[in-house]
Amino acid sequence: MTYETIRVTVDDRGVARLTLARPEKHNALSSTMIGELTTVARLLGTDTAVRVVVLAAEGASFCAGGDLGWMNAQIEADRAGRMKEAKRLALMFKALNDLQKPVIARVQGNGFGGGVGLLCVADVAVAADTAKFGLTETRLGLIPATISPYVVARIGEGQARPMFMSGRIFDAQAAQVAGLLTCVVPASDLDVAVEAEIIPYLQVAPGAAGQAKALARSLGMPITDEVIEATIERLADVWETDEAREGISAFLEKREPWWRTPA
Protein backbone atom coordinates (compact mmCIF):
# COMPACT_ATOMS: atom_id res chain seq x y z
CA MET A 1 0.00 0.00 0.00
CA THR A 2 1.26 3.48 -0.83
CA TYR A 3 0.76 6.59 1.25
CA GLU A 4 1.03 10.31 0.61
CA THR A 5 2.93 11.46 3.71
CA ILE A 6 4.69 8.36 5.06
CA ARG A 7 6.62 5.33 3.81
CA VAL A 8 6.41 1.81 5.25
CA THR A 9 8.79 -1.08 4.59
CA VAL A 10 9.33 -4.41 6.35
CA ASP A 11 12.57 -6.37 6.04
CA ASP A 12 12.98 -10.14 6.15
CA ARG A 13 13.69 -10.01 9.91
CA GLY A 14 10.32 -8.44 10.62
CA VAL A 15 11.71 -4.95 11.24
CA ALA A 16 9.17 -2.40 9.99
CA ARG A 17 10.35 1.11 9.15
CA LEU A 18 7.65 3.74 9.42
CA THR A 19 9.10 6.91 7.93
CA LEU A 20 7.63 10.41 7.98
CA ALA A 21 8.01 11.65 4.42
CA ARG A 22 7.23 15.37 4.27
CA PRO A 23 10.80 16.67 4.42
CA GLU A 24 9.89 19.91 2.64
CA LYS A 25 7.49 20.65 5.55
CA HIS A 26 9.89 19.36 8.21
CA ASN A 27 7.53 16.38 8.63
CA ALA A 28 4.87 18.51 10.30
CA LEU A 29 1.70 16.63 11.21
CA SER A 30 -0.92 17.43 8.58
CA SER A 31 -4.46 16.08 8.56
CA THR A 32 -3.43 13.49 5.97
CA MET A 33 -0.37 12.39 7.95
CA ILE A 34 -2.44 12.04 11.12
CA GLY A 35 -4.84 9.71 9.33
CA GLU A 36 -2.09 7.69 7.67
CA LEU A 37 -0.11 7.22 10.87
CA THR A 38 -3.24 6.03 12.68
CA THR A 39 -4.05 3.52 9.95
CA VAL A 40 -0.51 2.17 9.73
CA ALA A 41 -0.12 1.86 13.51
CA ARG A 42 -3.18 -0.37 13.60
CA LEU A 43 -2.01 -2.43 10.62
CA LEU A 44 1.46 -2.97 12.06
CA GLY A 45 -0.06 -3.93 15.39
CA THR A 46 -1.97 -6.82 13.86
CA ASP A 47 0.76 -7.98 11.46
CA THR A 48 2.30 -11.08 13.05
CA ALA A 49 5.31 -10.84 10.71
CA VAL A 50 6.34 -7.52 12.27
CA ARG A 51 8.52 -7.82 15.37
CA VAL A 52 9.97 -4.31 15.74
CA VAL A 53 8.88 -0.90 14.46
CA VAL A 54 11.42 1.84 13.73
CA LEU A 55 9.84 5.30 13.58
CA ALA A 56 12.03 7.50 11.38
CA ALA A 57 11.86 10.61 9.23
CA GLU A 58 13.27 12.02 6.00
CA GLY A 59 15.11 15.32 5.66
CA ALA A 60 16.60 17.74 8.14
CA SER A 61 13.90 17.50 10.83
CA PHE A 62 12.32 14.59 12.69
CA CYS A 63 8.97 16.35 13.18
CA ALA A 64 8.24 20.06 13.52
CA GLY A 65 4.92 19.51 15.31
CA GLY A 66 1.55 20.47 13.89
CA ASP A 67 1.32 21.63 10.30
CA LEU A 68 0.54 25.35 10.38
CA GLY A 69 -1.98 25.05 7.57
CA TRP A 70 -3.80 22.45 9.65
CA MET A 71 -3.62 24.65 12.74
CA ASN A 72 -4.85 27.71 10.87
CA ALA A 73 -7.84 25.65 9.67
CA GLN A 74 -8.66 24.97 13.33
CA ILE A 75 -8.78 28.70 14.03
CA GLU A 76 -11.35 29.06 11.24
CA ALA A 77 -13.39 25.99 12.28
CA ASP A 78 -16.24 25.88 14.80
CA ARG A 79 -15.89 24.08 18.13
CA ALA A 80 -17.31 20.82 16.79
CA GLY A 81 -14.81 20.87 13.92
CA ARG A 82 -11.92 21.55 16.30
CA MET A 83 -13.04 18.76 18.62
CA LYS A 84 -13.18 16.34 15.70
CA GLU A 85 -9.65 17.15 14.54
CA ALA A 86 -8.25 17.16 18.07
CA LYS A 87 -9.75 13.70 18.58
CA ARG A 88 -8.14 12.43 15.36
CA LEU A 89 -4.78 13.69 16.61
CA ALA A 90 -5.29 12.18 20.07
CA LEU A 91 -6.28 8.81 18.61
CA MET A 92 -3.18 8.82 16.41
CA PHE A 93 -0.94 9.09 19.46
CA LYS A 94 -3.03 6.45 21.24
CA ALA A 95 -2.72 4.04 18.30
CA LEU A 96 1.07 4.41 18.29
CA ASN A 97 1.29 4.15 22.08
CA ASP A 98 -0.89 1.01 22.12
CA LEU A 99 1.21 -0.83 19.50
CA GLN A 100 2.11 -4.17 21.10
CA LYS A 101 5.48 -4.20 19.38
CA PRO A 102 8.75 -2.55 20.41
CA VAL A 103 8.86 0.95 18.85
CA ILE A 104 12.25 2.61 18.35
CA ALA A 105 12.38 6.27 17.33
CA ARG A 106 15.30 7.15 15.04
CA VAL A 107 15.66 10.89 15.56
CA GLN A 108 17.98 12.45 12.99
CA GLY A 109 16.85 16.06 13.47
CA ASN A 110 14.76 18.49 15.46
CA GLY A 111 11.51 17.52 17.16
CA PHE A 112 9.04 20.13 18.38
CA GLY A 113 5.52 19.91 19.79
CA GLY A 114 3.94 16.79 18.36
CA GLY A 115 7.43 15.60 17.44
CA VAL A 116 8.18 15.31 21.16
CA GLY A 117 4.90 13.42 21.49
CA LEU A 118 6.17 10.89 18.95
CA LEU A 119 9.30 10.35 21.07
CA CYS A 120 7.12 9.69 24.09
CA VAL A 121 4.97 7.00 22.45
CA ALA A 122 8.13 5.17 21.35
CA ASP A 123 9.70 2.66 23.74
CA VAL A 124 13.24 3.69 22.82
CA ALA A 125 14.39 6.98 21.30
CA VAL A 126 17.85 7.29 19.74
CA ALA A 127 18.85 10.78 18.61
CA ALA A 128 21.66 12.54 16.80
CA ASP A 129 23.57 14.86 19.11
CA THR A 130 22.78 17.83 16.85
CA ALA A 131 18.99 17.55 17.28
CA LYS A 132 17.02 20.08 19.29
CA PHE A 133 13.65 19.74 20.99
CA GLY A 134 10.89 21.78 22.57
CA LEU A 135 7.24 21.88 23.51
CA THR A 136 6.73 25.16 21.72
CA GLU A 137 2.92 25.39 21.77
CA THR A 138 2.77 28.26 24.28
CA ARG A 139 4.79 30.39 21.85
CA LEU A 140 1.71 30.19 19.62
CA GLY A 141 -0.81 30.75 22.41
CA LEU A 142 -1.63 27.03 22.54
CA ILE A 143 -0.93 24.15 24.95
CA PRO A 144 0.57 20.66 24.37
CA ALA A 145 -2.78 19.04 25.11
CA THR A 146 -3.15 15.78 23.19
CA ILE A 147 0.48 14.74 23.72
CA SER A 148 0.49 15.68 27.40
CA PRO A 149 -0.48 12.27 28.88
CA TYR A 150 2.36 10.57 27.02
CA VAL A 151 4.93 13.23 27.90
CA VAL A 152 4.02 13.13 31.60
CA ALA A 153 4.02 9.33 31.55
CA ARG A 154 7.51 9.43 30.05
CA ILE A 155 9.25 12.11 32.12
CA GLY A 156 6.97 12.89 35.08
CA GLU A 157 5.09 16.01 36.10
CA GLY A 158 8.10 17.76 37.59
CA GLN A 159 10.07 17.66 34.34
CA ALA A 160 6.98 18.34 32.22
CA ARG A 161 5.78 21.51 33.95
CA PRO A 162 8.57 23.88 32.85
CA MET A 163 8.68 22.30 29.38
CA PHE A 164 4.93 22.75 28.95
CA MET A 165 4.94 26.36 30.10
CA SER A 166 8.18 27.89 28.83
CA GLY A 167 8.28 26.68 25.22
CA ARG A 168 12.07 26.63 25.57
CA ILE A 169 14.32 24.88 23.06
CA PHE A 170 16.82 22.38 24.49
CA ASP A 171 19.50 20.14 23.06
CA ALA A 172 19.68 16.36 22.79
CA GLN A 173 21.79 15.99 25.91
CA ALA A 174 19.18 17.86 27.99
CA ALA A 175 16.45 15.75 26.39
CA GLN A 176 18.28 12.60 27.46
CA VAL A 177 18.70 13.85 31.03
CA ALA A 178 14.96 14.63 31.14
CA GLY A 179 14.14 11.10 29.99
CA LEU A 180 12.84 11.90 26.52
CA LEU A 181 15.75 10.12 24.82
CA THR A 182 17.33 6.75 25.52
CA CYS A 183 20.69 7.58 23.98
CA VAL A 184 22.40 10.35 22.05
CA VAL A 185 25.08 9.66 19.43
CA PRO A 186 26.93 11.51 16.67
CA ALA A 187 24.77 11.68 13.54
CA SER A 188 27.21 9.41 11.71
CA ASP A 189 26.59 6.68 14.31
CA LEU A 190 22.79 6.92 14.35
CA ASP A 191 22.01 3.85 12.24
CA VAL A 192 24.51 1.71 14.14
CA ALA A 193 22.94 2.79 17.44
CA VAL A 194 19.42 2.05 16.18
CA GLU A 195 20.50 -1.38 14.98
CA ALA A 196 21.98 -2.09 18.40
CA GLU A 197 18.56 -1.33 19.91
CA ILE A 198 16.77 -3.58 17.39
CA ILE A 199 18.87 -6.72 17.98
CA PRO A 200 17.67 -7.62 21.52
CA TYR A 201 14.03 -7.61 20.41
CA LEU A 202 14.80 -10.19 17.74
CA GLN A 203 16.05 -12.57 20.44
CA VAL A 204 12.85 -12.70 22.49
CA ALA A 205 9.40 -14.20 22.00
CA PRO A 206 7.42 -11.52 20.11
CA GLY A 207 4.13 -12.23 21.85
CA ALA A 208 5.78 -12.09 25.26
CA ALA A 209 7.48 -8.80 24.34
CA GLY A 210 4.11 -7.31 23.44
CA GLN A 211 2.52 -8.55 26.66
CA ALA A 212 5.46 -7.22 28.68
CA LYS A 213 4.95 -3.80 27.10
CA ALA A 214 1.24 -3.91 27.92
CA LEU A 215 2.10 -4.90 31.51
CA ALA A 216 4.46 -1.96 31.92
CA ARG A 217 1.81 0.40 30.53
CA SER A 218 -0.81 -0.96 32.93
CA LEU A 219 1.45 -0.21 35.91
CA GLY A 220 2.29 3.33 34.82
CA MET A 221 0.24 6.50 34.66
CA PRO A 222 -3.28 5.60 33.44
CA ILE A 223 -4.09 7.09 30.02
CA THR A 224 -7.79 6.34 29.92
CA ASP A 225 -10.46 7.40 27.44
CA GLU A 226 -11.54 9.97 30.03
CA VAL A 227 -8.03 11.43 30.21
CA ILE A 228 -7.84 11.64 26.42
CA GLU A 229 -11.27 13.29 26.17
CA ALA A 230 -10.23 15.84 28.80
CA THR A 231 -7.16 16.82 26.77
CA ILE A 232 -9.33 17.23 23.68
CA GLU A 233 -11.68 19.54 25.59
CA ARG A 234 -8.76 21.60 26.86
CA LEU A 235 -7.33 21.98 23.37
CA ALA A 236 -10.71 23.00 21.97
CA ASP A 237 -11.03 25.60 24.73
CA VAL A 238 -7.60 27.07 23.99
CA TRP A 239 -8.28 27.25 20.25
CA GLU A 240 -11.11 29.69 21.07
CA THR A 241 -8.87 32.18 22.86
CA ASP A 242 -7.58 35.48 21.51
CA GLU A 243 -4.04 34.30 22.31
CA ALA A 244 -4.32 31.33 19.95
CA ARG A 245 -5.63 33.51 17.14
CA GLU A 246 -2.86 36.04 17.73
CA GLY A 247 -0.13 33.40 18.01
CA ILE A 248 -1.03 31.57 14.80
CA SER A 249 -1.62 34.81 12.90
CA ALA A 250 1.70 36.26 14.05
CA PHE A 251 3.57 33.15 12.99
CA LEU A 252 1.94 33.05 9.56
CA GLU A 253 2.54 36.79 9.09
CA LYS A 254 6.18 36.47 10.27
CA ARG A 255 5.79 39.03 13.06
CA GLU A 256 6.06 38.96 16.84
CA PRO A 257 2.91 38.26 18.90
CA TRP A 258 1.92 40.95 21.37
CA TRP A 259 3.25 39.03 24.38
CA ARG A 260 6.80 38.50 23.09
CA THR A 261 9.33 40.48 25.13
CA PRO A 262 12.80 40.91 23.59
CA ALA A 263 15.34 38.62 25.28
Rounded (10°) CA dihedral 213, 99, 51, 193: -80
User: SS3 sequence, 40-76?
Assistant: HHHHHHHCCCCCEEEEEECCCEEECCECHHHHHHHHH
User: For residue 69, what pLDDT is reported?
Assistant: 82
How far apart CA 150 and CA 252 sit, in angstroms, is 28
Q: Report whether 86 contacts 51 (CB < 8 A).
A: no
Within a domain: 258: no
Model pLDDT for residues 143-199, shown as the tens digit of each residue:
999 999 999 999 999 999 999 999 999 999 999 999 999 999 999 999 999 999 999
pLDDT at 175: 98
Residues 6+ apart with CB under 8 A from 116: 133, 134, 135, 144, 147, 151, 180
Tally of CB atoms within 10 A around 165: 12
Inside any domain, residue 259: no
Residue 156 lies in a domain: yes
Decide which of 192 and 1 is more confident. 192
pLDDT at 45: 96
Question: Is the pLDDT higher at 201 or at 79?
Answer: 201
- Residue 76 pLDDT grade (very low, low, confident, very high; cuts 50, 70, 90): confident
pLDDT band at 88 (very low <50, low <70, confident <90, very high): very high
CA 218, CA 250: separation in Å to the nearest integer? 42
pLDDT, position 262: 82
What digits encode the pLDDT tens for the residues 44-71?
Answer: 999 999 999 999 999 999 999 999 788 8
Question: Is 125 within a domain?
Answer: yes
Mean pLDDT, the chain, integer: 95
Q: Is 135 left (phi over 0), alpha (psi -120 to 50) or beta?
A: beta
- Asked if residue 246 belongs to a domain, the reply is no
**Residues of the domain holding 194:** 6-201
Q: Kindly tell me if the per-residue pLDDT of 75 is higher than 90.
A: no
Q: Say if 36 falls within a structural domain.
A: yes
Does some domain include residue 38? yes
What is the reported pLDDT for 6? 98
Residue of 21 and 76 predicted with greater confidence: 21
Query: For 201, what's the count of Cα atoms within 13 Å in the CB-facing half-sphere?
Result: 27
Count of domains forming the chain: 1
Report the CATH number at residue 155.
Answer: 3.90.226.10
- How much is the pLDDT for 41? 98
Residue 211 inside a domain? The answer is no
Kindly tell me the sign of the dihedral angle through the C-alpha atoms of 1, 191, 116, 75: negative
Residue 263 reports pLDDT greater than 80: no
- Of the listed ranges 39-53, 124-138, 201-215, 229-243, the least confidently predicted one is 229-243
Res. 1: pLDDT tops 80: no
Q: How confident is the model at residue 77 (pLDDT cuts 50, 70, 90)?
A: confident
Helical ranges in 98-156 per DSSP H: 114-121, 148-155
**pLDDT for residue 141:** 94
Rounded to whole angstroms, the Cα distance separating 5 from 70 reads: 14
pLDDT for residue 220: 93
Q: What are the two backbone dihedrals, phi and then psi, of residue 63, each rounded to the nearest 5 degrees?
A: -165, 125
Q: DSSP states of 11-28 as a string?
A: -TTSEEEEEE--GGGTT-
Whole-prediction pTM value? 0.96
